[in-house]
Chain A
Amino acid sequence: MSPIIEALNLSFRYAGEERWAIKSINLKIYPGELVLITGPSGCGKTTLCRCFNGLIPHFYEGELEGILIVDGLSIVENKTCKLAQRVGMVFQNLENQLIMLSVEDEIAFGLENLNLPRDTIKERINEVLSILGIEHLRYKSPYELSGGEQQKVAIAACLAMKPKILVLDEPTAHLDPLSSKVLFDILSSIRKRLNLTIILVEHRLDMVASIVDKVIVMDKGQIILQGGPREVFTTPIIKAIGIGIPKLILLYEDLLLNNLKLDFPPLNINEAELLLRKLLSR
């Protein structure tokens, strides 16, 4: 299988800044993967996200080096509005991405831009409203909604454009733990149903560790680790960066120091319970 996103030595420096926001990024993301990008604030996660749908280099000015191919299109030659059908982007700020006066119009906005016929627009609105379970919000104003609801509307508005890739930049930054859990449940269910590739920038690693396929850890604009979650979270250098390592991984390592070895690092409560029972019965 060929990668749906491939970066080769990708670097970007914002206009007027000396520091490279991202430097020599190499990565391959395959269709259907759920990839977590994490790292301390200012490590270049958001900058990398902006590259995926061509906001860099078309919206943000600066110096771009290297190659980034997204679903067969180079970001240099294709503007954001063209990439929008392939890459849906959900931003950190909930309210500033909802620009219309009702949820229905919000979802229609992208489709109207694509000049789709009215019937198709109506069909797609019904479809995404039911996928996200928000039919009751149809005629509400974005400012009447709670954070979690606004997030769902933002995702619905992206999904309506039928992208292959969905990028979410710190989607839970303004959500409470319960809404965050609901969001992650939705993401893991729609990825299979819609065959989506999802790129998730997140700090709450405890909540996402068990649903992601691949973890990319960034620091100072560079990728310092990438691989499966069990492998990445147990790599020693990760402790020096300042990201919230999942508590179950810390438990695993604590036990290891005391010569109690679980079969593999657990990523969710069920796994941990199973492994601990096994250990106790030994």
Chain B
Amino acid sequence: MSLNIIQGFKFNRKNTVLHSFDPRAKLVYIVSVLILSLIFSELCPMLIIFVSTILLIIVAKAVNEWLKSIKGSFIIVLMIFMLNYFLLPAENALSLSISLALRFLTIISAFSIFFMTTYPENFALALIKLKVPYDHALAFTMALRFIPTLAKEAQTIIDAQRSRGLELESGNFIIRIKRFTPVFIPLFINSFRRASQIAEAMESRAFGYSNKRSYLHELSFTTYDTLFTLLCIILTSLGLCIKFYLGYSETLVLARPWP
């Protein structure tokens, strides 16, 4: 399950409009989705936002990967729905719990769009442009780089410990966690050794040579990026106006709670 979730957050090298957008524009998009989906809890606007993210996923040609990660997170969605449906005293509990589940889906889809269409190196560059220190941005890309390596290593250690008779599957939650100790300790120690080797390799390639550094990739904020950003800002402002100024139910007749 856990690996499937990652599928929808991994960069796919494709040639679509969304891939060509500047990461900063896409960050604005994420913030817009966050604001909009958090200020509304009614079903209709939530559906509109959700459908808009799906449209973008289709544009990004990433439907399959997205579906995989949605499947992976299905249990969480179901839990959000059930808990709210049975525990909310409100009369519109059904529509409210659907829209809360949708809110979760919408937010993870927005992040999914971002990570599937943004080359991590460009994201790091965007962070640097936003005044994040280079070292921190580098730590981010390196963390992504070493996820598969660590996963492979964890599997090797699990296999090794199992072949010596370690049982990982049975027992309750606490017992299982305890049983993972012989997996975590070697993994931890190896990671320290790895960190030192990585540092050594980086210094050997002139890391720390100068305070200034150049970059192979270049970010360019094009007219399309500006238009996309403006669109996000306008829609968000509109949403904020409807919610806090005009009043939601007066604006949209569709918004009456479901029976």
Real binding pair: yes
Contact between chains at A99 and B201 (CB < 8 Å): yes
9-residue interface stretch from A62-70, A79-87, A209-217, A242-250: A79-87
Tell me if A89 counts as interface (CB < 8 A to partner B): yes
Contact between chains at A101 and B218 (CB < 8 Å): no
Contact between chains at A113 and B197 (CB < 8 Å): no
Question: How distant is the Cα of A93 from the Cα of B120 in the complex, in angstroms?
Answer: 24
Question: How distant is the Cα of A38 from the Cα of B27 in the complex, in angstroms?
Answer: 54
Among B121, B149, B197, B204, the one with the most A-chain Cβ atoms within 10 Å of its Cβ is B204
CB distance from A27 to the nearest CB of B (A): 21
Contact between chains at B145 and A100 (CB < 8 Å): yes
Beta-carbon contacts of A110-129 to B below 8 Å, as 1s and 0s? 11111111100110010000
- The size class of the interface chain A forms with chain B is 35 or more
Contact between chains at B121 and A84 (CB < 8 Å): no
Contact between chains at B197 and A112 (CB < 8 Å): no
Beta-carbon contacts of B189-207 to A below 8 Å, as 1s and 0s? 0000010011111111111
Tell me if A96 counts as interface (CB < 8 A to partner B): yes
Binding site for B on A (CB under 8 A): 53, 55, 58-59, 79-82, 84-85, 87-89, 91, 93, 95-102, 104-105, 108-118, 121-122, 125, 139, 141-143, 157-158, 161
Question: How distant is the Cα of A96 from the Cα of B191 in the complex, in angstroms?
Answer: 11
Contact status of A112 and B201, CB under 8 A, knowing A82-B209, A100-B121: no
Contact between chains at A102 and B121 (CB < 8 Å): yes
Contact between chains at A96 and B213 (CB < 8 Å): no
Question: How distant is the Cα of A117 from the Cα of B213 in the complex, in angstroms?
Answer: 9
List chain B residues, Cβ under 8 A from A122.
216
CB distance from B208 to the nearest CB of A (A): 5
Given A81-B203, A81-B206, 4 more A-B residue pairs with CB atoms under 8 Å apart are A89-B204, A96-B194, A100-B141, A118-B218
- The size class of the interface chain B forms with chain A is 20 to 34
CB distance from A99 to the nearest CB of B (A): 5
Contact between chains at B213 and A113 (CB < 8 Å): yes
* Closest A residue to B121 using CB positions: A105
Question: How distant is the Cα of A108 from the Cα of B13 in the complex, in angstroms?
Answer: 19
Binding site for A on B (CB under 8 A): 11, 13, 119-121, 141-142, 144-145, 148-149, 194, 197-210, 212-216, 218
Interchain CB contact (< 8 A) of B214 among A89, A100, A115 = A115
CB distance from B99 to the nearest CB of A (A): 37
List chain B residues, Cβ under 8 A from A110.
205-206
Contact between chains at A101 and B204 (CB < 8 Å): no
CB distance from A233 to the nearest CB of B (A): 31
List chain B residues, Cβ under 8 A from A100.
121, 141-142, 145
Contact status of A91 and B206, CB under 8 A, knowing A101-B145, A143-B148: no
Interchain CB contact (< 8 A) of A99 among B120, B148, B198, B210 = B198
